[in-house]
């Protein structure tokens, strides 16, 4: 409403699929970036993945209008690009239920709790790319995810 969402594509933020392309029938890799900087950092990896695996469906999501305006023209034609869903259970469930990613690659430190928990419940692998995390942040995230805490004595 404040000019921060794409007028015709805002339903994607609620987990609805992009009308631009249907979901491919084969396994899909989801690259999730948020802003323009993270999206630009993902581009070389997305392009390399598309070159190495030409038949592999790739989905890239961002959340900002500025990222959308720049990145949409820089992606290989095979990449499906849409806005990421809000990190609320209904939007995430709808999004993951439709796209059914086999792998989710999160750029930098975009740790969205509902996305990560939904992926874990469905057995979907999640990895961070270009990520840096302090020990304090790691331990804070470890508790809700059921991971062991790590001491700085390592």
Provide the CATH number for the domain around residue 101. 3.40.50.11720
- Does residue 13 fall inside a structural domain? no
Catalytic residue from among 38, 93, 110, 121: 38
- Does residue 21 fall inside a structural domain? no
Quickly state the pLDDT bin for 150 (edges 50, 70, 90): confident
**What is the extent of the structural domain holding 126?**
26-131
38 is known as an active-site residue: yes
Q: Hey, what are 17's tokens?
A: 């699929």
Quick count: other Cβ atoms within 10 Å of Cβ 109?
15
pLDDT tens digits along 69-89: 899 899 998 899 888 888 889
Query: Which of these, 152, 103, 109, lies nearest to 126 by C-alpha position?
Result: 103
- Does residue 107 fall inside a structural domain? yes
Quick count: other Cβ atoms within 10 Å of Cβ 78?
16
- Does residue 98 fall inside a structural domain? yes
- Does residue 94 fall inside a structural domain? yes
The three-state secondary structure class of 58 is strand
pLDDT at 77: 87
- Does residue 139 fall inside a structural domain? no
100 CB contacts (<8 Å, ≥6 apart)?
23, 28
78 CB contacts (<8 Å, ≥6 apart)?
50, 54, 57, 58
Residue with tokens 């339903």: 11
Quickly state the pLDDT bin for 6 (edges 50, 70, 90): low
Total domains in the fold of the chain: 1
- Does residue 85 fall inside a structural domain? yes
- Does residue 16 fall inside a structural domain? no
pLDDT tens digits along 98-145: 899 999 999 877 678 889 999 999 999 998 887 677 777 777 767 766
Kindly report the average pLDDT of the chain as a whole number: 82
């Amino acid at each position: 409403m404040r000019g921060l969402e794409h007028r015709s594509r805002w339903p994607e933020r609620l987990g609805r699929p992009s009308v631009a392309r249907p979901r491919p029938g084969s396994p899909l890799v989801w690259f999730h970036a948020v802003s323009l900087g993270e999206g630009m950092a993902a581009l070389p990896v997305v392009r390399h993945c598309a070159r190495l695996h030409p038949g592999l469906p790739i989905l890239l999501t961002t959340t900002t209008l500025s990222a959308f305006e720049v990145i949409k023209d820089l992606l290989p034609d095979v990449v499906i690009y849409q806005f990421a869903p809000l990190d609320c259970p209904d939007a995430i469930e709808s999004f993951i239920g439709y796209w059914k990613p086999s792998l989710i690659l999160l750029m930098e430190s975009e740790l969205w709790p509902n996305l990560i928990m939904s992926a874990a419940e469905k057995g979907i692998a999640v990895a961070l790319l270009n990520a840096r995390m302090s020990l304090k942040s790691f331990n804070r995230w470890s508790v809700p995810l059921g991971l062991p805490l790590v001491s700085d004595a390592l």
